[in-house]
Amino acid sequence: MSAAIRNIHYKPADEELSIWFWPDGRRYKYFGVPDFIYEGLRDAESRGRFFNESIKGRFECRRVEPEDRRKPRRPPLRTAS
């Protein structure tokens, strides 16, 4: 586990990798990431080293701003009948 990477999530159908960085929780999405790169990151002894060597600067990415993050779904309001 890396001290710099807090969490990862991968959408194989979209080849989209999300990485949350420590300590401030910044999240970046990386596009066009093949399965074997995600699996390498997931299984790496040092995720930070793997990230720097195999992902950083090699894939299109964008920062996910806090306002872009998915809001929790709320159930619809019930009205009195």
For residues 30-64, one letter each, b for 16 or more C-beta atoms within 10 angstroms of the residue's C-beta and e for the rest, the string is beebeeebbebbeebeebbebbeeebeeebebeeb
Q: How does DSSP classify residue 30?
A: E
**pLDDT given at position 77:** 60
Which two structure tokens, joined as six digits, stand for 4?
A: 């710099």
- Would 73 be classed as within a structural domain? no
- Would 78 be classed as within a structural domain? no
- Would 24 be classed as within a structural domain? yes
Q: What is the pTM of this model?
A: 0.77
- Would 48 be classed as within a structural domain? yes
Tally the domains of the chain.
Answer: 1
| Nearest CA-CA partner of 29 in 2, 3, 68 | 68
Show the domain range for 32.
Answer: 5-67
- Would 81 be classed as within a structural domain? no
**What are the pLDDT digits (tens) for 15-73?**
999 999 988 889 999 999 999 999 999 999 999 999 999 999 999 999 998 766 565 55
